[in-house]
Amino acid sequence: MFFCSISGEPPQDPVVSQKSGHVYERRLILKYITENGTDPITGDKLEESDLISVKANPKAAAPRPPSAASIPALLHTLQNEWDALMLETFTLKQQYNSLRQELSYALYEQDAATRVVARLIRERDAAREALASVSATMGVAPPAGDDVEMAESGQSTGALPEEVSKNIQETHEALSAQRKKRKPPTGYAGPAEVKTFTAKHTIPSLHSPSPAGITALAVSRTEPSQFLTGGNDKIVQLYDRSTDKVLASLKGHTKKISHVAFRESTGESEPTLLMSASADKIAKVWAHDASSGDYIPRATIRTHKGELTGLAVHPTSTYVALASVDRTYSLHDLTTGDLVFRSSAADEPFTSLGVHPDGALLALGTPTSTIQIYDIRSGAVAAVLTPPDSAPFTVKTVSFSENGYHMLAPDSLSSVAIWDLRKPKITRSIPLGEGFKVNKVSYDLSAQLLGVAGSEGVRVFAHKSWEELVRFEEAGEVSDLVFGEEGKEIWGASGREVRIWGLPESE
């Protein structure tokens, strides 16, 4: 191994002097000769021509630098590695202690919150006991208009109570017998008349402008001029079209209203009820108070643990059905204020609800395109309907035909299908265009017409012929749709407006 006589290191380009025989790095010796003209070791005169290149083996490995070959250098390297490892360990310990402190604070806050909740529950229970004791002592019963909690009474996940099942069965048999002979009512609007429908009336500026939007609509059958709306502003409004006045603004929900409905009066003992379901997981029932003339809360239903996605009055007019994303549906008695049935948890959340006109079946939509049909009497699944060759989508709306044989529901984001429940299979699928987003589907009471509300307005089709009779696009997106009295009007909710289409005014 050669070492440069000037630098003392192995040369990269070695040369040897003919005169002295010493080995040098070429660049170093050339620089020395240029400056001094002599051999740096012997002092004799030396020129570039006196240097001879030394050919080294190219496969020979370069020697290690002295800094990596000496014991002090190796000890220094190891010391640096150890110091870095100790510093990293110290940093990890600091982070660990910081995380322990944060966890301790979180556990302390959770414990404090639990103590506060426990204290409030004890105070609530004590207040209830004191109120019950005072009421019993004074012989005073709670007034009929009090807001009754319907969360804890009558909880059930088994079969329906015998009395309830009997009531539903009797209603089913009576309505089913009538259905076989059912024909469109006299004077009911037919497809030919629907083709002439035009815009008749617009009721603007309903609900609060922030957040704006009507999310649910219902029209009274006994008082056709009155309708009920629910909005993003968490309020339920009862409006009289004949006087253009808001009859009641009902508050109590903490999130947007998802559904509203009328329970029409069934006699002097059972007044008309107003009902609403909300994203706040509760449903409310209001009744008219004759003494004050106002609508007051009659019941608050807190059965479900998830957002309510369906509300429908059962054909008995005694029960209301609710569906929720907590994967259950429930049935409540409107007369006694009891929960009479709650289903076991299904495999999927429920996103919509429809009640068969005979009262024996419930249709429940899901987020995976399927519709589950339940027998109310047994709580068992009677059928599962899945559109063929359809990408998964959420079924947000379903509607049974009045004759009970068909059901209308979306079979994609932009088309609707008519299911024949006797087979069961899709009788017809109606495409609405790629840009159309379905918000609501509805059959009319004569089962002659079916309506679809969505992102591009309202479209009405004739049942059986599937002919598109009329479309209304001037309202933009329509969130809800209702057929009016005798099918002679179509009501739609759009933004903060309720629009009414019907037969043109006679001249």
Q: What is the pLDDT of residues 376-421, one digit of tens each?
A: 988 889 999 999 877 889 999 999 998 888 999 999 999 999 999 9
Q: Assess if residue 444 is contained within a domain.
A: yes
Mean pLDDT over residues 121-141, rounded? 72
Q: How many domains, in total, are found in the chain?
A: 3
Q: What is the pLDDT of residues 466-477, one digit of tens each?
A: 999 999 999 899
Tokens of 444: 């009319």
Binned at pLDDT 50, 70 and 90, residue 138 comes out as low
Q: Assess if residue 4 is contained within a domain.
A: no
Displacement of CA 132 from its chain's centroid (Å): 40
Binned at pLDDT 50, 70 and 90, residue 143 comes out as very low
Q: Assess if residue 183 is contained within a domain.
A: no
How many degrees, rounded to 5, is the angle at CA 255 between CA 313 and CA 112? 120
Binned at pLDDT 50, 70 and 90, residue 152 comes out as very low
Q: What is the pLDDT of residues 77-108, one digit of tens each?
A: 889 999 999 999 999 999 999 999 999 989 98
Tell me, yes or no, whether 400 and 469 share the same domain.
yes
Range of the domain at 272: 191-502
Tell me, yes or no, whether 93 and 229 share the same domain.
no
DSSP labels, 19-47: TT--EEEHHHHHHHHHHH-B-TTT--B--
Tell me, yes or no, whether 29 and 103 share the same domain.
no
Q: Assess if residue 143 is contained within a domain.
A: no
User: Any idea which residue has 């008519």 for tokens?
Assistant: 418
Tell me, yes or no, whether 366 and 463 share the same domain.
yes
Binned at pLDDT 50, 70 and 90, residue 456 comes out as very high
Residue after which a domain boundary falls, among 105, 120, 138: 138
Q: Assess if residue 153 is contained within a domain.
A: no
Q: What is the pLDDT of residues 187-208, one digit of tens each?
A: 888 899 999 999 999 999 899 8
Tokens of 187: 């004077």
Q: Assess if residue 106 is contained within a domain.
A: yes
For residue 315, the domain's CATH number is 2.130.10.10
Alpha-carbon distances, residue 334 vs 6, 7, 266, 320 (angstroms) = 108, 104, 12, 7
Q: Share the mean pLDDT of the chain.
A: 87
Q: Which of the pair, 270 or 384, is modelled with greater confidence?
A: 384
Tell me, yes or no, whether 34 and 122 share the same domain.
no
Mean pLDDT over residues 252-275, rounded? 87
Tell me, yes or no, whether 126 and 261 share the same domain.
no
pLDDT number for residue 7: 86
Q: What is the DSSP letter of 477?
A: S
Tell me, yes or no, whether 378 and 263 share the same domain.
yes
Tell me, yes or no, whether 33 and 19 share the same domain.
yes
pLDDT number for residue 57: 65
Alpha-carbon distances, residue 115 vs 109, 110, 126, 127, 446 (angstroms) = 10, 9, 16, 18, 59
Query: Residue 220 pLDDT more than 70?
Result: yes
By the 8 A CB rule, do 245 and 239 touch?
yes
pLDDT number for residue 63: 61
Query: Residue 124 pLDDT more than 60?
Result: yes
Tell me, yes or no, whether 236 and 374 share the same domain.
yes
Mean pLDDT over residues 149-176, rounded? 73
Tell me, yes or no, whether 55 and 130 share the same domain.
no
Q: Which of the pair, 266 or 308, is modelled with greater confidence?
A: 308
For residue 49, the domain's CATH number is 3.30.40.10
Lowest average pLDDT, out of 74-88, 260-274, 358-372, goes to 260-274
Q: What is the pLDDT of residues 292-347, one digit of tens each?
A: 778 888 889 999 999 999 999 999 999 999 999 999 999 999 887 789 999 988 99
By CB atoms closer than 10 A (0-12, 13-18, 19+), residue 203 is middle
Lowest average pLDDT, out of 1-10, 211-220, 349-358, 411-420, goes to 1-10
Query: Residue 68 pLDDT more than 90?
Result: no
Residue after which a domain boundary falls, among 123, 138, 153: 138
Binned at pLDDT 50, 70 and 90, residue 60 comes out as low
Query: Residue 367 pLDDT more than 90?
Result: yes
Q: Assess if residue 97 is contained within a domain.
A: yes
Residues 6 or more apart whose CB falls under 8 angstroms from that of 235 comprise 207, 208, 249, 250, 251, 253, 257
Tell me, yes or no, whether 231 and 281 share the same domain.
yes
Tell me, yes or no, whether 376 and 281 share the same domain.
yes
Q: Assess if residue 383 is contained within a domain.
A: yes
Mean pLDDT over residues 51-75, rounded? 73
CA dist., res. 50 & res. 42, Å (int): 14
